[in-house]
Amino acid sequence: MFHREGQNIILSTFFIVVIAVLIAHFYVDIPWLRWLMQIGSVVILVLILQFFRNPKRTVNVKFDEILAPVDGKVVVIEEVEETEYFKDRRRQVSIFMSPTNVHVTRYAASGIITFSKYHPGKYLVAWHPKSSTENERTTVVIRTPKFGEILYRQIAGAMARRIVNYAEEGESVQQGDDAGFIKFGSRVDLFLPLDCAITVKLNQKVIGAKTCIASTVEKKDNEE
C-alpha cells in the first residue's frame, strides 16, 4: 500500500524507468552498460516505492498515551521554551526520519485541532538545533481529553522539499489517523506538558501509531 502523496511521483518514475530499460535494450550495444542502465533504473523505482509505502496500522485509541507520530529515531528529549503557541516551558521529544523510514505523519492523540499553521523557511539538516524554528515547517495543536493541548511540528530537512499537512482547525481527529506526509528526509517535534511521563529514551527507534512516547502515568520499565 502506498501513500496518496506519492501517486504522481510513482507513476512518473515508472514510465521513465520503462523508457530507460527499453532504450538500453534496443540502443545500447555494450552488455555491461546495458545491464547497468536497466538495473540502475529498476533500483531507483524500488527506492521510490519504498519511500512512499504506507503500512496499515490498527490503533486501539488510548487517551492516557501519546503515540509516536512517525517512524524514526528519538534525537531530543528535553525541557524547552515553546515560543510560537504556548509561550511557556514544555517537554520536547523530537523524532528524526531517515529516507528509509516510513514518512507518513499520524495523529499522536485524539482530540480537536485548535491551531494549524504553515511556515516557509530554510532547509537545514533535520538534526540541526535551529531547524525547529528556521526550517520550512507546520505547527499543529491538538486539544486532548487527558493531556490538554499538545503541539507537534513537521520539519523539512535538507532533502525534504514539501510538507503535506491535513490538519484543519476545528476538526476532530483520532489517534493513529493519517495527518500528512513529509517528502525525503525530515523530523517531527512534539511539545508536551511538563507533568507527563516520557516513556522513550534517546536514540530509541520508534514506530508511528505504535510506540508510546508519553503517558499520564509513569511506565514500570521506565522506572527501572
Give me the mean pLDDT over the 7-23 stretch. Answer: 90
> Residues near 65 by Cβ (< 8 Å), separated by ≥ 6?
109, 212, 213, 214, 215, 216
Same domain, yes or no: 42 and 70: no
Residue 32 has pLDDT above 90, yes or no: yes
User: 36's torsion region: left (phi>0), alpha (psi -120 to 50) or beta?
Assistant: alpha
pLDDT digits (tens, 9 = 90+) for 199-217: 999 999 999 999 999 999 7
pTM, two decimals, is 0.82
- Active site (catalytic) residues: 186
pLDDT digits (tens, 9 = 90+) for 91-117: 999 999 887 888 899 999 999 999 999
Residue 93 counted as domain residue: yes
Same domain, yes or no: 94 and 16: no
Residue 155 lies in domain: 65-223
pLDDT digits (tens, 9 = 90+) for 182-203: 876 688 999 999 999 999 999 9
Distance CA 97, CA 101 (A): 6
Same domain, yes or no: 113 and 26: no
Same domain, yes or no: 114 and 36: no
Question: How many domains, the chain?
Answer: 2
